[in-house]
Amino acid sequence: MEAYPLQWPNRPRTPRPQRSRFDVQSGYARDCLVDEIRRLGGKNVVISTNIKLRQDGLPYASAKEPDDSGVAVYFQYKGQSMCFACDKWDLVRDNMQAIRKTIEALRGIERWGTGEMVQQAFNGFALLEAPRSVLWHEVLGVSKLADQFEVKTAYRQKLKETHPDTGGSAEDFEKVQIAWRQYQEQAA
């Protein structure tokens, strides 16, 4: 897993990050996050951001704030790959702090005697593989060398077949629309 540049997991992004109420310095947020993961029992910690890295692989505390303040933290927990990601806040240090506080709260659940809930919660943070990218011509069922008329005809037919009102699924209908946009971008 690469720490720089940011390796965002297969999850939606926050459209407009907000200012947080955390009052934390970058180095402190980074170091406390790593410590919290280690207390949990996590290993092989990678903090991925758009901040350049020090020699030890951690982001510089004094670095200029990047345009994308998202943070994704990857680590191993009980043999499973985990990912905690946050981009709700407009500063990298605040997103690190939010992840640290989340892990701290989960550790509290474990300490308070309801440890089976921690494993259930962590199952939701397990790192999921990105879905395989499907090519536009595969979705539309045509050759990638097909002419525009053939592609447009296949697109219209697939729209009819996959439309939810005619027995198709919203997911398949969306795939057809994405395939059409991919074709148009390539053809332009």
Distance CA 140, CA 162 (A): 11
- The lowest-confidence range among 83-92, 131-140, 170-179 is 131-140
Sign of CA dihedral 124, 125, 126, 128: positive
- Domain end, chosen from 125, 148, 165, is at 125
* Per-residue confidence (pLDDT) for residue 126, from 0 to 100: 60
Q: What is the mean pLDDT of residues 94-113?
A: 88
* Per-residue confidence (pLDDT) for residue 97, from 0 to 100: 97
Instruction: Clarify whether residues 52 and 84 are in a common domain.
Output: yes
Q: Is the pLDDT of residue 87 over 60?
A: yes
CA 165 vs. chain centroid, Å, equals: 32
Give me the phi and psi of 106, to 5 degrees please.
-65, -35
Q: Which residue carries 């790192």 as its tokens?
A: 127
Instruction: Clarify whether residues 117 and 164 are in a common domain.
Output: no
Instruction: Clarify whether residues 54 and 105 are in a common domain.
Output: yes
Instruction: Clarify whether residues 118 and 61 are in a common domain.
Output: yes
Instruction: Clarify whether residues 38 and 121 are in a common domain.
Output: yes
Instruction: Clarify whether residues 77 and 111 are in a common domain.
Output: yes
* Per-residue confidence (pLDDT) for residue 174, from 0 to 100: 81
Instruction: Clarify whether residues 120 and 31 are in a common domain.
Output: yes
**CATH code assigned at 142:** 1.10.287
Instruction: Clarify whether residues 121 and 39 are in a common domain.
Output: yes
Predicted confidence band of residue 136 (pLDDT cuts 50, 70, 90): confident
**Percent residues over pLDDT 70 in the chain:** 87
Sign of CA dihedral 57, 7, 66, 87: negative
* Per-residue confidence (pLDDT) for residue 162, from 0 to 100: 87
CA 83 vs. chain centroid, Å, equals: 8
Instruction: Clarify whether residues 38 and 63 are in a common domain.
Output: yes
Report the mean per-residue pLDDT for the chain.
Answer: 86
- Asked if the structure places residue 131 within a domain, the reply is no
Instruction: Clarify whether residues 64 and 112 are in a common domain.
Output: yes
Distance CA 73, CA 11 (A): 13
- Pairing type for strands 71-77 and 43-48 reads antiparallel
Instruction: Clarify whether residues 152 and 74 are in a common domain.
Output: no
Amino acid 183 reads Y
Number of domains in the chain: 2
Query: Do residues 68 and 6 lie in contact, with contact meaning Cβ atoms separated by under 8 Å?
Result: yes
Instruction: Clarify whether residues 107 and 179 are in a common domain.
Output: no
Query: Do residues 2 and 78 lie in contact, with contact meaning Cβ atoms separated by under 8 Å?
Result: no
Query: Do residues 187 and 175 lie in contact, with contact meaning Cβ atoms separated by under 8 Å?
Result: no
Q: Is the pLDDT of residue 130 over 60?
A: no
72: β partners = 48, 85
Domain residue limits at 48: 26-125
